[in-house]
Amino acid sequence: MSRIVIDLPDEDLKVLDAIKEIQGKPRAEIIRAAISGYLQNNSADDDAEAFGIWSMGNGDGLEFQRAMRGEWPQ
């Protein structure tokens, strides 16, 4: 496990300390759990999620681009 140094606003640190007292866990453990949860909720599970519009299987990119631009008023 690697160590890092982070800066937290004083108000966040006060809240973190309150949680620490209630749960009886070290700050580091609470922060690790929070980061783990954040990463689970905010990372793409596969290429389909990472590539947005292309996850719909739009085929050839140039043809798709031409079709989309064809909808623009001239």
pLDDT at res. 8: 94
Q: Terminal CA-to-CA distance of the chain, rounded, Å?
A: 58
Where residue 63 falls (left for φ over 0; alpha for ψ -120 to 50; beta otherwise) is alpha
What pTM did the predictor assign? 0.58
**What is the C-alpha to C-alpha distance for residues 30 and 21, in angstroms, rounded to an integer?**
11
Q: What is the pLDDT of residues 9-57, one digit of tens each?
A: 999 999 999 999 999 999 999 999 999 999 888 876 665 565 666 666 6
Give the integer Cα–Cα distance in Å for 52 and 41: 17
Q: How far is CA 3 from the centre of its chain?
A: 21
What's the pLDDT score for residue 30?
96
Q: What is the pLDDT of residue 44?
A: 67
Give the C-alpha separation, 42 to 53, whole Å: 18
Instruction: Tell me the pLDDT band of 70, cut-offs 50, 70 and 90.
Output: confident
